[in-house]
Each structure stands twice: as structure tokens, then as C-alpha cells.
Copies of this chain bind each other. A is one copy, B any other.
Amino acid sequence: MANGFERPLDLLNSARGKEVIVQLKNEKQLTGILLAFDIHINIVLDNAKEIKDGEVKRSIGLTFLRGDTIIFISPSVPSK
């Protein structure tokens, strides 16, 4: 199971290059490949998509997302 995260940003670091789910404060969800982040939790997602009820609502592509709009960032888990 998950282990060895000394600091919260370690999780973001380990998620670089992988798909993540991003929950925004405005109730919307994005998925995409996490390319970069900084200490303000500003992030860059590639192939970003807005998701609602499991369906793609809008394709956004490469995007810069401001950290103060984010509630959580989770690495996607492949469903078995």
C-alpha cells in the first residue's frame, strides 16, 4: 500500500507523468496526465478532460491550473 511520503508534495512528485483526478472548488472534476507542479499547487495537466458522472463533458488538452482552485489531486487507479 502507499508508503514513504514524508511531505505532501512527495505524492505529487511520484504522480508526475501519470494520470490524476483533480477535484476543483467549483464542483468540477478534471482528469489528465500530471506534467508539473509547484509549491502553490499550480499544476500542468496534459490531455485534460472535464468529467461529470463518469462521462467526458469537455476536452481541454494541455492546461495550466491555478493551485487555489483545487480541493484534491488523486492518482488514478486502474479499475480491476
Contacts and interface: CB of A to CB of B under 8 A. Distances in A.
Contacts of A65: 71-72
A63 B74 contact: yes
Contacts of A24: 71
Copy number of this protein in the oligomer?
A: 7
A63 to B, nearest CB: 4
Contacts of A10: 36, 44
Interface residues of A, number: 43
B70 A66 contact: yes
Given A63-B73, A71-B24, A1 B37 contact: no
B69 A8 contact: no
A14 to B, nearest CB: 9
